[in-house]
Amino acid sequence: METDRLILRAPRMSDWQDIVEGAGEYDVAKMTTTIPHPFARGHAEWFIKECAKHRGKTSFVFAIELKAEKKVIGIIGLHNINRDNETATTGSWINKKYWRKGYITESKIAVNDFAFDVVKVRRLSTTVITSNKASNATQLKVGYVFEGVQRQGQKSAASGKVSDLNMYGMLKSDWKKARKRLVSKAKNAN
């Protein structure tokens, strides 16, 4: 998939250095359940193999490649795809050097389109650590609806800290409204 500034594609073994650079940053890892710290080449290579093994079955994971730099700056994916129930979860991280530039929002637009139009889910869900203000704001910006707090819902592999999670959901009808607003806002910005 391609957006104005990004290419979303399957992670490749040659991406391992970019993935280590981004996921290896403690401020990135501590906001996830699965990224250990320190994060090394072996972790990245294992992750890339797992992505390939499950691609199209229970997940679709995309490397976020910044066109201008031909560099992977993050990861975004659909996980826990349940085709019978037409549901999936989403998750993402971005290299700290690229925070607050709109890359996750741009990626989420493409992945949400993919989820609803190609995978044919009827509902997406995601969780965010309650203290992660930027990620919580992004979920609301792209049209997720806050559905509650999961107390002590996450233990970070990097920090070992247990955190509460904000739970968000999105139906296809939510996405249609949000997408229209996001696209209109982007056109007016140009």
Domain count, the chain: 1
Inside any domain, residue 1: no
pLDDT, tens digit (0-9, with 9 covering 90-100), for 6-32? 999 999 999 999 999 999 999 999 998
Domain region containing 110: 6-189
Domain containing 54 — which CATH number?
A: 3.40.630.30
What is d(CA 26, CA 30) in angstroms, rounded to the nearest whole number? 6
Burial pattern 127-146, b for ≥16 Cβ within 10 A else e, equals: bbbbebeebbebbebbbbee
- Record the pTM: 0.93
Which of 143, 135, 17 is CA-nearest to residue 70?
Answer: 17
Inside any domain, residue 119: yes
What is d(CA 119, CA 34) in angstroms, rounded to the nearest whole number? 24
Inside any domain, residue 38: yes
- For the chain, 190 residues long, give each residue's pLDDT as a single digit of tens: 999 999 999 999 999 999 999 999 999 999 988 899 999 999 999 999 999 999 999 999 999 999 999 999 999 999 999 999 999 999 999 999 999 999 999 999 999 999 999 999 999 999 999 999 999 999 999 999 999 999 999 999 999 999 999 999 999 999 999 999 988 776 666 5
